[in-house]
Amino acid sequence: MCTSYEYRCRYNGEAGDGLREVSRSNIGSHTQRRGRPNRSTLSADSDSTRVLQEREDHGSSSTATGVEFASTMAFPHLLGISLDAFDLPRPQSFAHNSETRREGPEQRHPNLRTILTEKQLQHLSAIYFGTIGPIANIIDKDHFARRSQDYYQSSTDPRSLACAPVVAGVAALGSFLSPARHPHESEMAQHAKVVLEDPSPARRLDTDHVAAWALRVLYLRATTRLDIVWLASCTLMHICEVVGLHDEKMIRKIASRDGTTPAQQDEEAERLRRLFWFSWAGHKVMAYEYDRSAVQIRRTTCRPAKPVYGTITNQFIELAQIIPQYDLTAIEEDDTIDTSSDLCMRVRELREFPTAHPFLAVTKADLAFCFYRRLYHLGVCIPASVLDLIVDIGHEGVIAAAQLAGKGRVFWNVIGSVFHCISVLLAIDTPAAMAHLPVAVGRLEDISKVAHAHLAREALSMAKHLLSLKMARKRAELAQLESIGASAQMTAAGTSVDAAHADNLDMGLDVDWDQFLVEPYLWMLDSVPR
Higher pLDDT, 501 or 144: 144
pTM of this prediction? 0.78
Say what the pLDDT of residue 257 is: 80
Q: Three-state SS string across 91-141, please?
A: CCCCCCCCCCCCCCCCCCCCCHHHCCCHHHHHHHHHHHHHHCCCCCCCCCH
Q: Supply the mean pLDDT for the chain.
A: 80
Mean pLDDT of 268-282: 97
Say what the pLDDT of residue 102 is: 67
- Please write the tens of the pLDDT for every residue from 319-344: 999 999 876 655 555 554 688 999 99
The pLDDT > 90 percentage for the chain reads 55
Say what the pLDDT of residue 506 is: 54
Q: Name the helix (H) or strand (E) containing 9.
A: strand 8-9
- What are the residue boundaries of the structural domains of the chain, listed by start? 8-82, 115-319, 340-461
pLDDT over 70 at 201, yes or no: no
Nearest-angstrom CA–CA distance, 350 and 445: 27
Higher pLDDT, 451 or 99: 451
Nearest-angstrom CA–CA distance, 50 and 478: 67
Alpha-carbon dihedral of residues 423, 427, 429, 435, nearest 10 degrees?
-10
Nearest-angstrom CA–CA distance, 450 and 418: 14
Confidence of residue 189 (pLDDT cuts 50, 70, 90): very high
pLDDT over 70 at 36, yes or no: no
Higher pLDDT, 379 or 283: 283
Task: Write the DSSP string, 261-304.
Answer: -HHHHHHHHHHHHHHHHHHHHHHHHHHHHTT------SS--PPP
Say what the pLDDT of residue 361 is: 97
Q: 13-22, 79-88, 120-129: which has the minimum mean pLDDT?
A: 13-22
Say what the pLDDT of residue 83 is: 78
pLDDT over 50 at 59, yes or no: no
Q: Sign of the CA dihedral 459, 461, 464, 466?
A: negative
Nearest-angstrom CA–CA distance, 374 and 363: 17
Say what the pLDDT of residue 56 is: 39
The pLDDT > 70 percentage for the chain reads 69
- Please write the tens of the pLDDT for every residue from 482-512: 888 776 666 665 665 555 555 555 555 555 5
- Please write the tens of the pLDDT for every residue from 81-115: 787 777 766 666 666 676 666 666 666 666 899 99
Q: Are 84 and 31 in contact (CB under 8 A)?
A: yes
pLDDT over 80 at 400, yes or no: yes
